[in-house]
Structure 1
Amino acid sequence: MNIKKQFLLITTILILVIGCKESTVETPTEPVTLRNVYKDAFYIGAALNRFQIDETDSIMAGIVGREFSSITAENEMKSMQIHPTKDTFNYEYPDKFVALGEKHNMFIHGHTLVWHSQLSPWIRNIEDSTEMAEALKSHITAVVSRYKGKIHSWDVVNEALNEDGTLRKSVFLEVMGEDYLPLAFKWTSEIDPDADLYYNDYNMANPEKRAGAIRLVKNIMDKGVKVDGIGMQGHWHLNTPSLEEIEKSIVDYASLGVKVAITELDISVLPNPRDLVGADIGQNFDNSELLNPYTKGLPDSIQVKLANRYTDIFKIFLKHKDKISRVTFWGVNDGQSWLNGFPVRGRTNHPLLFDRELKPKSAYDSIIALKQRDDKQSN
């Protein structure tokens, strides 16, 4: 064999060897997390408390950064925390919260600018309409200006409706009248025109309240004031609201030409005293063994019901992913959940995807598997 043929043979062998090696190299895949699996559908968020914002627990911090693409401050941006007196602002934890979101390249949501509850006493005690307008505008201006370009969306007004769809007789309505609603959105949009502005409320799958929310948002928009979205708080139960009403609400809100965010999502597994609905934190009931049956953990049968409920709800979310901007759980794990104290103090509830030991529950696995099946069917 001459030198030329030997060279060609060796070259051919090398090409075959390299090609075989390349064919066995696997393409790196992203970790299977909520954030990664749902990235092409909508943001997956969580509400964070001070402990989580501080990142003092490394396991918790890892879950937050790995699993979620959006964050909301559970309490630290409410007026009594961030603006406790007329001339005092407390930005320590809001600043840390924003820095955490930026570190993990998250969508950062601000909650909330105008709310009758957890309201700073100095605002609550105002009785003059001009003074109230000045106070609200000053509060909105200061907070939104500080986080302009950093906080991507705001709950501008929170929980302004009664269950029958009429306007709640809050201090804002009583002092300023209905004008406080469009003015709050107008002032916010003038300060940060790029932020998405939401109206947020609970029981938004109730027909009467749904009609009231549509009427409220439409009235603001008819005045030429920007509203970008409606937030449907998901403080739901194993059997209520119905899937049909959840879906109808998403479709009806989106028909206004706004985005729909599923906010404050958690599913109570405990008995519901007096068929209470919603999240009116002024309501509370005495504890009892009958109302608090799962103090030693969640039975497998209830784990299955919770997983099935989350799966059924997420099927609706995926069906209407073109309308939904964000799905935010109201907490990271069961131990953090506000439902341990509402509407019955001292209960042990299990409403979220991670348990008290920070381990993913069956519900977590179920909605991951749901999205993976959806992706396969789409391909």
Structure 2
Amino acid sequence: MKIEKCKTASIILAGFLVISCNVKKDSLDNGSSLKNAYEKDFYIGTALDINQINENDSEVNNLIATQFNAVTAENIMKCEVIHPKWDTYEFDLTDKFVAYGKKNKMFIVGHTLLWHSQLAPFVRKIKSKDSLQLFMTNHINTIAGRYKGKIDGWDVVNEALNEDGTYRKSIFLDLLGEDFLITAFKLAEKAAPDTELYYNDFNIEQPKKRAGAITLLTKIKNSGARIDGVGIQGHWSLDGPPVKEIEESIIAFSKLGLKVMITELDVSVLPNPNKMVGANVEQNFAEDPKMNPYTKGLPDSVQVKLAQRYEDLFKIFIKHKDKISRITFWGVNDGQSWLNNWPIRNRTNHPLLFDRNNKPKLVYEKVLGLKK
């Protein structure tokens, strides 16, 4: 579908010039929503931050409840937050997150039980195999067990692969070997027997890493451990990856008998340092004004490119709706996006469907329009 150039409207808010493509004034008031439009296809989800979990902003809260029917914990269930010390767990925020999802009748995703990054400091100091095994057992049993029957899906293991498809170096690989993934899934199945269990990673739509993911997923399945799905983190850009590679990956993972999810969808509109791809949080670059061109708003030409990119992606998702169970955006609005501070801090990115004022962008209309 050809997207016509849109008209713009500019307003000044707290010294910030917001330029946005003109959309229907009643686009959020006429009963239409993403979750309703795609209700028969797949869940439409978002990631919640602390302010959203605490319902600090009624406008944002209404937007979430209206547009989405699945929620993922953006950061609060990562080890450094939920399990800061060996014998200390912090459940207050996670309890609120789960209650929020239940109240709004949403599909609730826990993120994540095991990840090499954002570990509590005490974990990094573990030196023995037995101690790390005990940590992993206690961590999964305690957290997954607490939310047994309350959380619908768990990202059990997050980002265990390198770009060439080999196992990523981590404390878990170093001390426990490759089978730490199998152990994690078996522990999660026992602690939360009625919860869907997933492997989640970025760039696994790219050929080499996809092949490694297929080998890893097959090994888990063949071990007798239960794994229900795979999450393709959709941290993409205006220029890539090609939709052909995304489609081939959806098909390949589905052939393993797994549900496929696009779990952390956002599309960066900013220049890409060193042509890097993916979401490796350990990659960071120095601030540079040339890498931050849209501080005063997103030009029409880029709005159109963003809308076209999302439209192309959703056409593939709709085509394979029999294989896909959930599409989750990594954030509610542009202001929340982690891409404002990664891989370069203090940038102004515009990767989502709602702007910093929670208003729908042209891309929202195009994604919604595919179902009209």
Q: Same fold (TM over 0.5)?
A: yes
Indicate the structure whose relative CO is greater, using CA pairs within 8 Å and at least 6 residues apart: 2
Partners of 1:332 and 1:204 in 2: CA distance? 24
Partner of 2:320: 320
Larger radius of gyration: 1
Paired AA for residue 343 in structure 2: P
Partners of 1:274 and 1:201 in 2: CA distance? 21
Whichever structure has more helix as a proportion of its residues is 1
Q: Deviation of residue 204 (structure 1)?
A: 1.3
Structure 1 gap segments, 5+ residues each = 1-29, 373-379
2:263 alignment partner, SS class: strand
Partner of 1:301: 301
Partners of 2:170 and 2:82 in 1: CA distance? 20
Map of 1:215-234 to 2, 5 A cutoff?
215-234=215-234
Partners of 1:369 and 1:104 in 2: CA distance? 25
Partner of 1:134: 134
The one-character-per-residue Cα deviations of 1:242-262 (angstroms, maximum 9, x if unpaired) are 010010010001010000010
Partners of 2:149 and 2:182 in 1: CA distance? 22
Map of 1:267-286 to 2, 5 A cutoff?
267-286=267-286
Partner of 2:19: none
Partners of 1:220 and 1:243 in 2: CA distance? 27
Partner of 1:31: 31
Partner of 1:210: 210
Partner of 2:93: 93
The one-character-per-residue Cα deviations of 1:249-308 (angstroms, maximum 9, x if unpaired) are 100010100000101100000010110111111111122222111000000110010001
Partners of 1:111 and 1:45 in 2: CA distance? 13
The one-character-per-residue Cα deviations of 1:17-38 (angstroms, maximum 9, x if unpaired) are xxxxxxxxxxxxx921011111
Percentage of pairs with the same residue: 57
Alignment partner of 1:264 is 2:288: no
Paired AA for residue 152 in structure 2: H
Partners of 1:66 and 1:280 in 2: CA distance? 32
The one-character-per-residue Cα deviations of 1:172-193 (angstroms, maximum 9, x if unpaired) are 0001111211000001001111
Partner of 1:255: 255
Partners of 1:288 and 1:139 in 2: CA distance? 40
Measured on the aligned residues, the alpha-carbon RMSD in Å equals 1.0
TM-score (norm 1): 0.90
1:311 alignment partner, SS class: helix
Partners of 2:288 and 2:78 in 1: CA distance? 32
Structure 2 gap segments, 5+ residues each = 1-29
The one-character-per-residue Cα deviations of 1:190-239 (angstroms, maximum 9, x if unpaired) are 11111110000001111000000110010011111111001000000001
Partners of 2:329 and 2:125 in 1: CA distance? 33
Partners of 1:204 and 1:274 in 2: CA distance? 20
Partners of 2:321 and 2:185 in 1: CA distance? 26
2:356 alignment partner, SS class: coil
Paired AA for residue 329 in structure 1: F
Partner of 2:362: 362
